[in-house]
Amino acid sequence: MTRVVLSLGANLGDRAATLRTALAALAADGPLVHSDLYETPPWGPVEQPPYLNAVAVVEGDRDAAGWLARAHELEQGAGRTREVRWGARTLDVDVVAVRADDGAPVTSADPRLTLPHPRAHERAFVLVPWLAVDPDAELPGHGRVDALLAGLDPADVAAVRRWDAEG
């Protein structure tokens, strides 16, 4: 049994429905907690609409490669295409961190799956929702999520706003 932290984002189509569908699918993999949805400005050099983001923490019978395969299944199910790096997408699912059944962090330098995620520590859109579901969260090799957030630009952190479907 492993424990995975997944970051989910969508900025095309019905963003909320896409994320809710992916989160419901993940519930079939094992015990699941997930954050509320957060609206965030796009990250990267490509002009695009804002994202809705969430973080899910799932326990299940998959290894790290299995979680990556599951992330790709969810993306494909949402019609994800990989044409432009950092471009708009129907669904993006990143494997942020994996812990083995003994609680030890899984690390990997494989370019297909680097663990922990190599940029998670600098992304408020990952850290804010993760902290909301796990106040004691730690990103292996980087430290506590609350401390990582405290080290980010306050404007970047403030830009991650809990999303309310009513406006």
CATH code at position 11: 3.30.70.560
> pLDDT tens for residues 152-161?
999 999 999 9
> pLDDT tens for residues 109-131?
998 999 999 999 999 999 999 99
In terms of DSSP bridges, do strands 161-162 and 38-40 run parallel, antiparallel, or are they unpaired? antiparallel
| DSSP collapsed to 3 states, 58-81 | EEECCCHHHHHHHHHHHHHHCCCC
Domain hosting 85: range is: 2-162
Q: Is residue 18 part of a domain?
A: yes
> pLDDT tens for residues 30-82?
999 999 999 999 877 778 899 999 999 999 999 999 999 999 999 989 886 65
Q: How many domains does the chain have?
A: 1
Query: What is the pTM (predicted TM-score) of this model?
Result: 0.93
Q: Is residue 12 part of a domain?
A: yes
Run of H or E including 25: helix 15-27
Q: Is residue 167 part of a domain?
A: no
> pLDDT tens for residues 83-113?
666 667 889 999 999 999 999 999 999 989 9
pLDDT of the residue at 167? 47
Q: Is residue 52 part of a domain?
A: yes
Q: Is residue 144 part of a domain?
A: yes
Distances (CA, A) of 105 to 14, 16, 140, 147, 160: 34, 31, 6, 19, 27
Q: Is residue 96 part of a domain?
A: yes
> Distance between CA 26 and CA 121 in Å, rounded?
24
